[in-house]
Amino acid sequence: MRREELRVLLVVCLGTFFHIQSVGSISVSLSAIQKEFDTTLAAVQWIGLMGAIMLSSLSLGFGRAGDLVGRKAIFKIGLTLYAAGAGLAAVSGTFPQLLAFRCLMALGLAMAAPLAGAIIASVHSHESRGRALGLLAASIALGRTTGPTIGGLILQLWGWRAVFIANCLFGMATCLTLFLILKGKEERRKVSFDYLGAFSLVVGFPSVLIALTLGTRAGWDAPEIMLWLSLAAAGIIGFVWRELHAETPLMNLLYFRSIPLVRAMLSLVLATLAFYPVSIFGPLYLLNVIRVSPLSAGLAMATLPLCTTLLSPLSGRLADRLNPRWVAILGLCIILLGVFFYAKLGEGSSLVWIVTVLSILGAGIGLFVPANEKAAFSTVPSRDYGMLSAILTAFGTGSGALGTTVAVAPDER
């Protein structure tokens, strides 16, 4: 691995680690936020889901913008917005204010997250790309490992506001490093941007989640639910039509003629539908059902990403030497096994067994993600890596958000 490749890999992994670590620490704080503002579980879930919604709705636009105006520039701006939003969230006086500042954080996340894989894939050859993507996946998992643990410790000592303050300070230091290292002008492509497609997606996907969240309580035939479903249908149908006719689409649907790409996307959707709700509701289950301390909940949740951290580099190396498809299939099978065991947990489950189940899930994710990403990147030209990275992000977070929303929709507390 050349020196320039290593520098880019390390700094992008640092930025990715920052925002993932922040998400993990905030998830541990949801119970405390719910109690302070006396709000419902269905309302407080939006703090966790906001990032997924923005990623699903905006990542394609920002991924395409990165291909056109510069991936590194948008990556840096996104992480700066994320850090600023964390600082503002720490001083929120009401729950709506907290949601608004969380929205700013989510906007920054939607700018940065889709471009991390594209930046790394563009500077590494096919022979070493799996290893680089494996290290990126390990940095994501390491962020998830330390996030709940650090967040649980800060929450227990100083409260949930200190969690956001810590994320702001760490984010500022990370952004300074990014601006010092990711320098230089980037090539810009003089083609149009698909604003209509971006608008259609922003209208369509959030409307689906809102309808699913409110439909169970209000009734599926309620006028407001029918309105949201109509907006969802109009937005999604309009997006597909636009992508089929746009000169430079956000999502080139012609790429989906590739069977390997379709297979990689379907595997990603299945995997995230299965495990994403665990990361959102796992801390609430440990705190409110098993009734462990915040620190214990953070340590228990950390076992999932810790196993992902350990297995991701191995997956990347295997994907460079073997067919990445089979490595990804092995990881997907382990994920489904872990979800099966997780579904059997209840009030009487021991903490040791819960940790074991989370470890199985983490190992499966670690084997699946790098191999599946390498298989996907091999199906498109390098000029569209930003688009593909955004598609991976949108499909993954979108299906995860849908799974989480459906899981919590019947809860009226």
- Mention every residue, 6+ apart, whose C-beta is less than 8 A from residue 325: 260, 263, 371, 375
- Given this model, what pLDDT does residue 412 score? 46
- Given this model, what pLDDT does residue 1 score? 55
| Residues 223 and 333 reside in one and the same domain | no
This prediction's pTM:
0.69
- 73, 183 in Cβ contact below 8 A? no
| Residues 214 and 259 reside in one and the same domain | no
The span from the CA of 249 to the CA of 252, in Å, is 6
| Residues 207 and 142 reside in one and the same domain | no
- Given this model, what pLDDT does residue 403 score? 67
| Residues 372 and 223 reside in one and the same domain | no
Tokens standing for 382? Answer: 């390098």
Closest CA to 360 of 398, 293, 310: 310
| Residues 125 and 164 reside in one and the same domain | yes
- Given this model, what pLDDT does residue 184 score? 64
Q: Is residue 95 part of a domain?
A: yes
Segments forming the whole domain that contains residue 230: 195-245
CATH number at residue 358: 1.20.1250.20
Total structural domains in the chain?
Answer: 2
CA angle 116, 399, 281 (to 5 degrees): 95
| Residues 233 and 153 reside in one and the same domain | no
Distances (CA, A) of 85 to 56, 165, 295: 19, 10, 25
- Given this model, what pLDDT does residue 150 score? 80
| Residues 214 and 273 reside in one and the same domain | no
Q: Is residue 413 part of a domain?
A: no
- Given this model, what pLDDT does residue 413 score? 43
Q: Mean pLDDT per segment of 10 residues, for the chain of length 413 residues?
A: 72 82 77 79 71 74 77 85 89 86 87 81 71 80 76 82 87 82 67 79 78 68 83 88 81 80 84 75 77 75 82 85 86 89 82 88 88 83 76 73 60 46
Q: Is residue 182 part of a domain?
A: yes
Final residue belonging to a domain, choices 213, 229, 245: 245
